[in-house]
Structure 1
Amino acid sequence: MIARKANEEDAARIAEIERAVFSDAWSEDAVRETMCQKTAEIYVAEDRKTIVGYIVIYTVLDESEVVRIAVDAGFRERGTGGFLLDTVISEGALKGTAVWHLEVRKSNMAARALYQKKGFWDVGIRKGFYDNPKEDAVLMTRSLETVSGVQEERDRL
C-alpha cells in the first residue's frame, strides 16, 4: 500500500467512498473544490493502483484538523486508516505542525480507539453535532509536545 497526495482525477473515487461511508457525503465537485483550497490537503491510500481510502486535513499555521477520513469497506481492519493518519502526521511534522484536532461520532469506538492509539485524547463533546442519526461528537487533540516518543519521531524525519 502507498499513500500520496490526491489529484483531480481521484475526485470521483473519493466521492464514491464518501457516499458509501458518510450520511453527509461530499459530492465530486465538493472534493475538487476542497483540493483547490490553500489550507486543505487530501491524501489517498492505494492498493494495487486502486484508491482504498483517503484523509482530508486543513492546516493553519502549526495546527491541523482531520476533517474527513474514510476507508473502503473491503479494506477496513487492515490498518489503512492508521496508515493514512501516520502519513499526514509525519508530513505535518516536517512542515511544523504541532497540534492536531478531529471530531468523531461518540459511538464510533473503533475510530476512537485508533485515534487514541495514535496519541489523540478526548478534550470535549459537541452536543448533537452529527445528523442521520443525531449524535454527539467527541473532540480529540494530539500535541507533539505531549506524545511519548516525540523526539524519536522528529529525529526519524
Structure 2
Amino acid sequence: MIVRKASKEEAARIAKMERAVFSDAWSEAGILETMCQHTASVYVASVENTIAGYAIVYTVMDEGELVRIAVDSMFRRQGVAGSLLDTLIREGQDHGILLWHLEVRKSNDAAQGLYRSRGFSKDGIRRGFYENPREDAVLMSLRLETLSGVQEE
C-alpha cells in the first residue's frame, strides 16, 4: 500500500467513493476546488494502482483538521484508514502540526476506535451536527509534542 498526495486526475474516483460512503458527499468539483487550496491536502492510499481510500485535511499554522476519511468497501478492515491517518500525522508533524481535530458520528464506533488507537481523545459532543440521518458528532483531538518533548500551552 502506498499513501501519497492525490492528483487532480483522481478527483473523479475520490468523488465516486464519497458518494458510496457519505450521505453528504462532496462533488468532484468540490474536491478539485479543495485540492487547489493552499491550506488543504488530499491523500490517497493505493493498492496495486487502485485507490483504496482517501483523506482530506486542512491545516492552519500548527493545527490540522481531518475533514474526510473513507475506505472503499473492498478494502475495509485491511489497515487502509490507519495507514492514511499515520501518514497524515507523521507528515503533519514534519510541517509543524501539533494539534489535530476531527468530528466523527457518535454511532461510528470503528472510526472512534481507530482514532483512539492513534492517541486521539474525546473532547465533547456537537449536538445534531450530522444529517441524513440526524446524529451528534463526537469531537476528538490529538496533541503532539514539540521537538523538544515539551507540549506548548
TM-score (norm 1): 0.92
May I ask how many residue pairs the two structures share in their alignment?
148
Q: How does 1:31-50 map to 2 (within 5 A)?
A: 31-50=31-50
Secondary structure at the counterpart of residue 145 of structure 2: coil
Partner residue, 1:108: 108
Q: Distance in 2 between matches of 1:9 and 1:53?
A: 15
Q: Distance in 1 between matches of 2:79 and 2:46?
A: 13
User: Which residue is equivalent to 1:25?
Assistant: 25
The 5 A counterparts of 1:73-152 are 73-145=73-145
1:145: how far off? 2.9
> 1:43 aligns to what SS in structure 2?
strand
Counterpart Cα distance in 1 of 2:57 and 2:103: 12
In the other structure, the counterpart of 1:66 is 66
Q: RMSD across aligned C-alpha pairs, in angstroms?
A: 1.3
Inter-partner Cα distance in structure 1 for 2:53 and 2:16: 10
Q: Which amino acid aligns with 1:59?
A: T
What is the DSSP-based 3-state SS (H/G/I as helix, E as strand, rest coil) of the residue aligned with 1:124?
strand
CA distance, structure 2, for counterparts of residue 106 and residue 93 of structure 1: 27
Structure 1: segments with no counterpart, 5+ residues: 152-157
* 1:114-151 Cα distance to aligned partner (Å, 9 max, x none): 000011000010000000100000000000139xxx96
1:4 and 1:97 map into 2 onto residues whose CA distance is 18
Q: Which runs of 5+ in 2 are unaligned?
A: none
Query: In the alignment, residue 15 of structure 1 is paired with which amino acid?
Result: A
Identity of counterpart residues, as a percentage?
Answer: 62
Structure holding more helix per residue: 1
Partner of 1:154: none
Matching residue's letter, 2:19: R
Counterpart secondary structure, 1:32: helix
* Paired letter, 1:102: L
Please tell me the residue identity of whatever aligns with 2:50: T
AA paired with 2:129? F
Which residue of the partner structure matches residue 52 of structure 1? Answer: 52
CA distance in 2, matches of 1:97, 1:105: 24
Whichever residue aligns with residue 121 of structure 2, its letter is: W
Once residues 122 and 88 of structure 2 are traced to their aligned partners in structure 1, the CA distance between those partners, rounded to angstroms, is: 20
